[in-house]
Structure 1
Amino acid sequence: MQLKKINKARYRKHLNIVIVSCIASLLVGSLGIAQLLIFLFPDQEGSHFHWNLLGVIVSAITIGAVLNKWRNHPFMAEVTYVWELKQTLNYIARKLPKLNQAAEEGDVTAMNAMQFSYAGSRFLWQLDDNTLVMDELAISQAKLDALAAKHNVTLNADRFEKQDLARF
């Protein structure tokens, strides 16, 4: 995965549209399905929890299927890219203890994965206007830069490939 520049305003606008659409679809879909099921299969005791739950589940699955079907549409380009980037960064975060150990030993792949993680996190935090932990990120980046200098490695986030992490 490569880091690429995206239009922040367009991303925020499209993300907000997707979120509002999902919320509205979940609300209308779950209530509509539940009301239809209650009408078709009334309960004399008045407990319709299972029909309401089924309405929410069916609506959520439908929304997920629609999002998955439309994920490659140009309207969803930025939203999908950020979603995939977050998944990749979470994958790296789960492997971080092993990556840190390998980086200490001079492993270039581990260092480039960490570089990608730091650069991707910085990108996401700036995209979401979440700059509270940038100082912490700068400290981690400085440690990584020192390790790279110690092992005479040139860091390059563009060299990161997710499949390279399988051995960690």
Structure 2
Amino acid sequence: MQLQSIDKQLYRSRLNIVIVACIVSLSVSSLAISQSLISFFPSETGSHFHWNLLGVVVSALGLGFSLLKLKTHPKMKEVVYVWLLKKELNLIYRKNRKLQAAAEQGNADAMLALQFSYEGSRQLWQLDDNTIVMTSLNAAQSKLDGLIEEYNLQLDISNYQSGLLRQF
């Protein structure tokens, strides 16, 4: 995965549209399905929990399928990019302890993965206006910069690929 430049305003507006569309479609379709099932198969006891649950499950599955089909749409480009970036950062986070240990031993791939993680996190947090934790990110970046200088490495995050994480 490569980091891309994303227009923050465009991303936020498209994300808001996706969120509202998901909420509305999930609400409307789950109610429509459950009410249809209740009208076709009424219960003498008056409990329709299972029909309501089935309506929500079917609606959630339909929404998930729709999002998978729509993820290649041009208007979803920024939202899908951020979803993929979050997925990649999560993969790196799960290996963070091993990456930190390998980076301290001078492993260039570990340092490259950490550099990608820090750059990606910085971009993600700026897109989501989550700048509160930037001080901890800057401290981790400074530590990594010290290791890069100590081992005299040149890192280019455009060389990062998730396959690098298999060795950790």
TM range (shorter): over 0.9
Runs of 5+ unmatched residues, structure 2: none
| Greater CA drift, 55-64 or 154-163 | 154-163
Identity of aligned residues (%): 56
The corresponding residue for 2:36 is 36
- How does 1:13-28 map onto structure 2 within 5 Å? 13-28=13-28
Q: Report 1:62-101 matches (<5 A).
A: 62-101=62-101
Tell me whether 1:5 sits opposite 2:5 in the alignment: yes
- 2:123 maps to 1:126: no
**Secondary structure of 1:110's aligned partner:** helix
CA distance, structure 2, for counterparts of residue 158 and residue 166 of structure 1: 18
Deviations 1:41-83 (A, max 9, x none): 1000000001000000000000000000010110100000000
1:101-150 CA distance string (max 9 Å, x none): 11011111100000000000000111111100111100000000001111
Query: Which segments of 5 or more consecutive residues in structure 1 lack a partner in the other structure?
Result: none
Q: Name the structure 2 match of 1:104.
A: 104
Deviation at 1:155, TM superposition (A): 2.3
- Partner of residue 146, structure 1: 146
Moved over 4 A (4+): none
RMSD (Å) for aligned C-alpha atoms: 0.6
* CA distance in structure 2 between the partners assigned to 1:105 and 1:81 by the alignment: 32
Q: Could you state the TM-score of these two structures normalised by the residue count of structure 1?
A: 0.98
Aligned residues: 168
Q: CA deviation at 1:157?
A: 1.6
Aligned to 2:136: 136
Tell me which amino acid in the other structure corresponds to 2:87. Q
Q: TM-score, normalised by structure 2?
A: 0.98
CA distance in structure 2 between the aligned counterparts of 1:62 and 1:12, rounded to whole angstroms: 24
